[in-house]
């Protein structure tokens, strides 16, 4: 490398240092209907729905549930379920499952109550992009609509989704706050000099009483960060000098779910029910659903009433309730007692999938 390759005289005292990553207070204009975004505040601001968007429940209204038959499991189904369970456990032998003697099969009535509240929430924040000559939809085209009047495409009910929308007429052009409209910023690694101290000779130009071969005795090297230019291209405006600022609306749809199963069989872990389905014999869907009354299991009635009140208070304050749905499922659960080789054992068959839960199984082998 020739000495003149290291020469550089690129320092520009007028080139500013890199500015803040976010617009400073007072940098951005105020947009009607979004005055909570003061100055350069780019954080998400929750937009509570206006009062006429909040549904009001009717007093003294309730839902009734039809009667339902408790499902039963036959011995053949119970044996097949155990064989499938054993087949997935390589330490278990299938011989006991094939030769066991059933003593008793006891079905239980297990109800699962579920309340789903489909909500929509909206928040807004300042965003920006480089101005590359694109059209800008600013206040000259009209007043920006309020957050809850911005049109969006709705997803299917009871599904989670997020959509980001640019608020109409909220855009305007400003010089880039990071490079002050220059398109480039002073290199912080070399402080705009284009050269940095040689790390081999520590800037002396000599190493072991000999001329440093790395910097050719100059004591300085071309800055590897800016390649000797003394400046870098602005990463915020990508060198275009100006930014288009606009308010971005984030619309979030979420299915808020509450589930409840009364604990009627203490020996069976309730969490097991999370992985299986049941028979839905009651489905009630409306803008707002009402508490279940007159159902044989009072715990289900209490869960319905409490969860509906909780969802209404919790979600209507910061989001819009679009639809509610409450269901009651009958989840099959059978306690199976059997004998094998003179010993008594038991297991549970549960769910429409006929899953098995057991804490003890005969003839399990161990690996030494």
Burial of 299 (0-12, 13-18, 19+ CB in 10 A): middle
214, 230, 250 — which closes off a domain? Answer: 250
User: What distance in Å separates the CA atoms of residue 198 and residue 220, rounded to the nearest whole number?
Assistant: 5
Q: What is the pLDDT of residues 263-278, one digit of tens each?
A: 989 999 999 999 999 9
- Say if residue 225 is in the same domain as residue 273: no
Encode 126-153 in three state secondary structure. EEEEECCCCCCCCHHHCCCCCHHHCCCC
What are the DSSP calls for 68-129, one per residue? -PPP---HHHHHHHHHHHHHT-TTB-SHHHHH-EEEEEEEE--EEEEEEEEEEEEEEEEEEE
- Say if residue 280 is in the same domain as residue 320: yes
Q: What is the pLDDT of residues 149-179, one digit of tens each?
A: 999 999 999 999 999 999 999 999 999 999 9
235, 250, 265 — which closes off a domain? Answer: 250
Task: Supply the pLDDT for residue 8.
Answer: 46
- 221 falls within a domain: yes
Cβ pair 315, 117 in contact under 8 A: yes
Owning domain of residue 242: 45-53+124-142+169-250
Q: Is the pLDDT of residue 116 over 70?
A: yes
- Say if residue 133 is in the same domain as residue 219: yes
- 366 falls within a domain: no
Q: Is the pLDDT of residue 285 over 60?
A: yes
Supply the pTM of this predicted model. 0.77
Q: Is the pLDDT of residue 192 over 80?
A: yes
User: What distance in Å separates the CA atoms of residue 303 and residue 306, rounded to the nearest whole number?
Assistant: 5
- Say if residue 243 is in the same domain as residue 138: yes
Confidence band for 148, pLDDT divided at 50, 70 and 90: very high
Q: How many domains does the chain have?
A: 2
- Say if residue 332 is in the same domain as residue 285: yes
Average pLDDT over residues 31-57: 76
- 294 falls within a domain: yes
Residues in the chain: 368
Average pLDDT over residues 59-82: 73
- Say if residue 340 is in the same domain as residue 280: yes
Task: Supply the pLDDT for residue 47.
Answer: 87
- 341 falls within a domain: yes
184, 218, 250 — which closes off a domain? Answer: 250
- 198 falls within a domain: yes
Confidence band for 70, pLDDT divided at 50, 70 and 90: low
- Say if residue 49 is in the same domain as residue 180: yes
Q: Is the pLDDT of residue 366 over 60?
A: no
Task: Supply the pLDDT for residue 69.
Answer: 60
Q: Is the pLDDT of residue 10 over 80?
A: no
- Say if residue 279 is in the same domain as residue 342: yes
- 321 falls within a domain: yes
- Say if residue 242 is in the same domain as residue 274: no
- 218 falls within a domain: yes
């Amino acid at each position: 490398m020739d000495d003149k390759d290291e020469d550089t005289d690129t320092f520009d005292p007028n080139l500013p240092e890199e500015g803040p990553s976010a617009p400073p207070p007072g940098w951005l204009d105020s947009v009607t209907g979004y005055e909570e975004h003061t100055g350069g505040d780019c954080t998400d601001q929750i937009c509570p729905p206006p009062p006429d968007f909040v549904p009001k429940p009717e007093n003294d209204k309730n839902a009734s549930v039809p009667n339902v038959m408790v499902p039963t499991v036959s011995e053949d189904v119970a044996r097949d379920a155990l064989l499938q369970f054993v087949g997935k456990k390589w330490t278990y032998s299938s011989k006991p499952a094939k030769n066991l003697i059933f003593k008793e099969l006891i079905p239980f009535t297990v109800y699962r109550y579920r309340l789903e509240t489909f909500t929509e929430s909206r928040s807004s924040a300042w965003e920006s992009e480089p101005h590359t000559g694109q059209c800008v939809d600013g206040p000259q085209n009209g007043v920006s609509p309020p957050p809850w009047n911005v049109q969006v495409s709705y997803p299917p009910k009871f599904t989670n989704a997020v959509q980001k929308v640019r608020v109409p007429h909220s855009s305007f052009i400003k010089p880039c706050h990071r490079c002050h409209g220059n398109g480039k910023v002073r290199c912080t690694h070399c402080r705009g000099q284009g050269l940095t101290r040689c790390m081999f000779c520590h800037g002396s130009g000599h190493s072991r009483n000999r001329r440093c071969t790395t910097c050719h005795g100059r004591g300085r090297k071309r800055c590897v960060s800016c390649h000797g230019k003394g400046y870098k291209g602005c990463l915020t405006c990508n060198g275009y000098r100006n930014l288009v600022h606009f308010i971005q609306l984030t619309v979030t749809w979420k299915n808020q779910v509450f589930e409840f199963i009364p604990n009627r069989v203490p020996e069976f872990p309730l969490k097991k029910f999370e992985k299986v389905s049941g028979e839905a014999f009651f489905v009630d869907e409306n803008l707002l659903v009402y508490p279940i009354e007159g159902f044989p299991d009072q715990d289900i009635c209490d869960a319905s009433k409490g969860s509906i009140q909780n969802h209404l208070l919790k979600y209507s304050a910061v989001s819009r309730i679009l639809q509610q749905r409450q269901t009651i499922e009958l989840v099959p659960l059978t306690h199976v007692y059997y004998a094998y080789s003179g010993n008594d054992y038991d297991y549970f068959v549960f769910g429409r999938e006929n899953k098995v839960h057991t804490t003890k199984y005969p003839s399990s082998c161990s690996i030494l």
